[in-house]
Structure 1
Amino acid sequence: GSFYHCTTDQNAPNPGLFIDGLGLVGLLLNHQEAQLIISQSVQALFGEGAETVVDTQVQDTWEIDAKSVSFKNSRWQTYVDQLASKTVWSTLGVAPYTSKPQCDLYKLLLYQQGSHLLPHQDTAKAPGMFATIVVVLPSAFQGREVHVSHAGTTKILDVSQASGFDTSILAWYTDVMHEVKPITAGYRLTLSYNLIHTSPNIPPPALPEQMNMLPLRECLEKWNANGFETTPETPLVAYLLHHQYSSDNLDNGRECLKGKDVNMIAQLLPVAKSLGIVICLGNLERTVTGIVEDEGYGYHRRGRWG
């Protein structure tokens, strides 16, 4: 899986965007309607420690809360659900064994010339939230590239060329560092969604570490084909997890996993399944038995003081 997603959809439905106090908003967004949206908006807040503040030096954006936004096109929610549960879900590499995610509208955001966002990481705005989805509605603009960074890799997401008449979808894990460059012309109208984990018995998705599974697959394929001169007498290969788990923990299966173990198992399962290999979680105990050598000191001491 990837730490981000970026696509443009020429066939996305018109959402029938409706804003309380303003009414139905036409798309492609024009200057007049953009100004009307601003009249119904407030300056976006920015997280600073435990507080949220308005700081246009960090984030210069207009926002409208989700409760004041609705969609008159009934196909829009179906479209968003498909994005969340299939398109974005697949790109981010979320394990296929989890249930359908919950995708909640968080804010409507409007950016004008000069609007920007300095590098930061998203905070979880709801329990179980693990990623952000940004839907860029038809609104012609220039600039506003999004720079996403993880594990030493930076990608530039630029959807400005298709902004006039197409809908673009961006997404990233909440822990991904991202920066939004200033708009140089026009307006950018977006819908920000929280992608929320809903599977009760499976750990929440974790940011992928870009593990290269090809060498492992090749090794397991060779093992399956008896390609090694020597193999373990017991057909078992053990791998140490990063965290320690009690037997009671492991009784809960994958739900008990933490940190790097979540991502590692999520990437290993599809490989193992395709090769007919079973993966089990367990504790390995080593027991050493033998006779303690007695040099006689204990006996004489007892005799002396007995």
Structure 2
Amino acid sequence: MEDARSSEPFMTSGGLSSAVNPAIFIPKVGPIRLPISTDDAKAISHFCRQSPYDEGIEPLGEESVRKSWQLDADQFVLQKPQWQVQLGRFVKKAIAGLGLPASSQEVKADLYKLLIDEEGAFSPPHPDSEKADGMFATLAVCLPSKHEGGDLIAFHKNARLEFQTAPTSEFGFSWAAWYADVTHELKPVASGYRVVLVYNLIHHPSAALLNSKASQADKLAHLLVPWARPADEDAIRYLDGWDTDPYDMYPPALVYLLENQYTSAKLGISQLAGTDESRFMQLRNACERAGLEIFLANVEKKDTGEVHNDKCEDGDWSWRDNGTHEFIELMRSSLEFSQVVDLEGNVIGEHLPFPERMLVQADTFNRDPDYEDYDDFGSSETAEATHFYRATGALIIPAGFHFMLDLQQLKHGQRDAGKFLEDCHRVVLERPNDKLAKLRLLHVCRVIFPARRDDSRCYAAAKLRDRRSWQEKVMQIAVELAEPALYCRVLVARKGDISPAQVAQAARFISEHSIDAVRSS
């Protein structure tokens, strides 16, 4: 998977000595000539509103500091039809430069605003916000308008790229495109006016993209098939799900972490950027070939430990460089899927725990935490702190193991317990000789009605509307499956509330399984 990366940068740019004049027309100002003169730039800015750095980011609020102005797309018109042809050329070059495996027909350039940066205008480092579904990048076309300064600097991981508009600004055009999650800043404009048309690039992938790079997908499928084989050969051993994952067996699922983190609102295939999109599409193709299911998931790890108020015993300060506490002692650690979505973007699970050995990249969280929460020290020298780590990845599950995901959802109250029980029971009635179906039904019954008293808070059972009737249903299933432990578990849960018919049922059950078998349960 490390070889499956976008080989191109996170920002791409270019320049033209001449291009089609878009023929900008602004009501109350009139047609705008190119190159844009100082007088025209001043006239345009008179009808603009002050521009924030980006949607969702507050402007500084003082005109003397923030000297950037904008017209929204509905406040002006690009009158020349040939401009769309020129724009298509920019988009095609942007797609190639960003390494997106898509055709220009799959990417739409949606006009967002006209931006005017006057002398002294700047913006601090920030990423772009999502302004439309499927937006993955920003395209900026700088129009001829003489200025100095105003360089755009983009950062991603340890790399830094620059987009200079001043050198060609007097008579030429320049353009740049960058992924929306890339942090960038505008250096101050030293003189003149920097005038830019800003577009949102929106991606609608086609079947051609999903079928790209088939040879890499074949190699991945070849690696995944031997891992997935136990799902068909020995699925019974995996029925307890992820919580009791035995270490002498294959991981029941795999989590391949991507390079970037995505919020819950942006968790979907259309939001993946650059290398992440390339890798996920190859994994998706490989999973289709290998008969596996694939999902997108946000992962959260929590490490909780004891921290020192002042100094550790060796004299070192108990703070990390990023301002979080150093653990004196790590007490517990946990991993969960904070959200899982399918390929259509539907949420199918939230806050589902899973074992760490499902992670393909085992050392992913050997880094500073994303943030920390800790108790107030008060008068104590120590307190408890929790470090939070977040990531986004692809969750891969053999089709035969999907029941484990169902079971996790059931345990955490994210499935209709009654309907799930009925569905599993129906399969057993239709296939009475299916041993695996019977074991799955038994596991569902055990989850809904746990054995230990401290498990009585089970979310699945709590969501059953008529608990009494479902207890009777599970007792009948226990009779059909000849399971004394399950039968007695529900019998105890009735707390003496037993009808004459159930007394007779219990008598028959004892006669069939012996009093010793029932008593031991």
The TM-score normalised by the length of structure 1 is 0.69
CA contact 1:116–1:144 (8 Å) conserved in 2:
yes
Of 94-103 and 157-166, more deviation after overlay is shown by: 94-103
Distance 1:279 1:98 in 2: 28
SS in structure 2 opposite 1:26? coil
CA contact 2:149–2:190 (8 Å) conserved in 1:
yes
1:183-194 alignment runs, 5 A limit:
183-194=189-200
Residue 75 (structure 1) aligned to one of 73, 77, 82: 82
Amino acid aligned to 1:140: K
Amino acid aligned to 2:277: V
The answer as to 2:46 corresponding to 1:39 is yes
Query: What's 1:8 paired with?
Result: 15
Query: What's 1:242 paired with?
Result: 256
Distance 1:188 1:87 in 2: 22
Distance 2:14 2:109 in 1: 18
* Pairwise CA distance, 1:90: 1.3
Cα distance change on mapping 1:30 and 1:256 into 2, 3 Å: closer
Distance 1:51 1:255 in 2: 29
* Pairwise CA distance, 1:18: 1.2
Query: What's 2:28 paired with?
Result: 21
1:143-292 alignment runs, 5 A limit:
143-199=149-205, 236-238=222-224, 242=256, 262-266=277-281, 282=292, 283-284=397-398
SS in structure 2 opposite 1:109? strand
Query: What's 2:371 paired with?
Result: none
CA contact 1:44–1:54 (8 Å) conserved in 2:
no
Residue 93 (structure 1) aligned to one of 81, 88, 99: 99
Distance 1:54 1:281 in 2: 56
SS in structure 2 opposite 1:172? strand
Distance 1:98 1:34 in 2: 32
Alignment: residue pair count: 254
* Pairwise CA distance, 1:31: 1.2
Cα distance change on mapping 1:135 and 1:267 into 2, 3 Å: farther
CA contact 2:102–2:209 (8 Å) conserved in 1:
no
SS in structure 1 opposite 2:40? helix
Percent pairwise identity: 29
Query: What's 1:115 paired with?
Result: 121
Per-residue deviation, residues 1-47 of structure 1 (Å, max 9, x unmatched) = 32111100224211111112111111111111111111111111345
Cα distance change on mapping 1:59 and 1:100 into 2, 3 Å: farther
SS in structure 2 opposite 1:237? helix
SS in structure 2 opposite 1:171? strand
Amino acid aligned to 1:9: L
Question: Is there any run of 5+ residues in structure 2 with no aligned partner, and where?
Answer: 1-7, 228-253, 258-267, 293-396, 402-514
The answer as to 2:125 corresponding to 1:103 is no
Distance 2:103 2:182 in 1: 24
* Pairwise CA distance, 1:94: 1.4
Which protein has the larger Cα radius of gyration, Structure 1 or Structure 2? Answer: 2
* Pairwise CA distance, 1:60: 2.9
Amino acid aligned to 1:169: W
Cα distance change on mapping 1:89 and 1:59 into 2, 3 Å: farther
Cα distance change on mapping 1:17 and 1:198 into 2, 3 Å: same
Per-residue deviation, residues 71-126 of structure 1 (Å, max 9, x unmatched) = 22210012112322x11111111123785211111110111110111111110111
Of 55-64 and 4-13, more deviation after overlay is shown by: 55-64
* Pairwise CA distance, 1:133: 0.6
Per-residue deviation, residues 251-306 of structure 1 (Å, max 9, x unmatched) = xxx96997876331457899x9xxxxx965624468xxxxxxxxxxxxxx958969
Cα distance change on mapping 1:95 and 1:303 into 2, 3 Å: closer
Question: Is there any run of 5+ residues in structure 1 with no aligned partner, and where?
Answer: 205-216, 225-234, 244-253, 273-277, 287-300
Query: What's 1:62 paired with?
Result: 69
CA contact 2:148–2:190 (8 Å) conserved in 1:
yes
Distance 2:147 2:116 in 1: 11
Residue 37 (structure 2) aligned to one of 30, 40, 46: 30
Cα distance change on mapping 1:166 and 1:181 into 2, 3 Å: same
* Pairwise CA distance, 1:201: 7.2
CA contact 1:109–1:190 (8 Å) conserved in 2:
yes
SS in structure 2 opposite 1:242? strand
* Larger relative contact order, structure 1 or 2 (CA cutoff 8 Å, min sep 6): 1
Distance 1:134 1:50 in 2: 19
Distance 2:34 2:55 in 1: 34
Distance 1:33 1:186 in 2: 12
CA contact 2:51–2:59 (8 Å) conserved in 1:
no
The answer as to 2:137 corresponding to 1:136 is no
CA contact 2:56–2:129 (8 Å) conserved in 1:
no
SS in structure 1 opposite 2:106? coil
